[in-house]
């Protein structure tokens, strides 16, 4: 057996090991991604991405009941994005059916948000409902 044959066998073995390691790594990563998927959103690198932000069903009914992944914010309580909430896009739903708009303080500024309004929260923002309880979907 010559040196070139031995070198070729060694390179082949290293190539097989690299391919096996790549297969194991990708299969583990796919398993982690499946664990992070929840009903209507998924978490990628600590950021919440909504898949379907419809709040009105196919038959026209409002979908304002709490679902898995919804966050109820109490009036007057402060929530920090990154600690209490994930950064990402949310739909504001008023928790009281008689209230059409709700005042919310985000980053120190108070603004009125209508029912079904979308907001984007970034890492470090502080959010606090001022006038009524809010559901974030």
Indicate the CATH number for domain 46-136. Answer: 2.60.120
Residues forming a β-bridge with 117: 92
Domain boundaries, the chain: 1-36, 46-136
What letter would DSSP give residue 62? Answer: B
Q: Enumerate the H helices of the chain as residue ranges.
A: 3-36
Structure confidence by residue, pLDDT tens digits, 22-45: 998 888 777 655 544 445 666 666
**Its pTM surpasses 0.85:** no
pLDDT value of residue 115 = 85
CA 31 to chain centre: 17
Residues in CB range of 43: below 8 A, 6 or more apart: 36, 49, 86
């Amino acid at each position: 057996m010559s040196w070139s044959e031995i070198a070729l066998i060694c390179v082949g073995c290293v190539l097989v090991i690299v391919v096996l390691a790549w297969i194991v790594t990708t299969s583990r990563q796919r398993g982690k991604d499946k664990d992070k998927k929840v009903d209507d959103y998924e978490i990628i690198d600590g950021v919440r991405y909504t898949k379907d932000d419809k709040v009105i069903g196919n038959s026209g009914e409002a979908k304002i009941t709490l679902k898995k992944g919804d966050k109820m914010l109490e009036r007057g309580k402060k929530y920090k994005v990154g600690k209490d909430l994930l950064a990402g896009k949310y739909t504001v739903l008023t928790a009281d059916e008689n209230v059409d708009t709700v005042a919310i303080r985000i980053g120190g500024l108070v603004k009125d948000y209508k029912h079904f309004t979308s907001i984007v929260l970034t890492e470090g923002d502080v959010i606090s409902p001022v006038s009524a309880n809010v559901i974030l979907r």
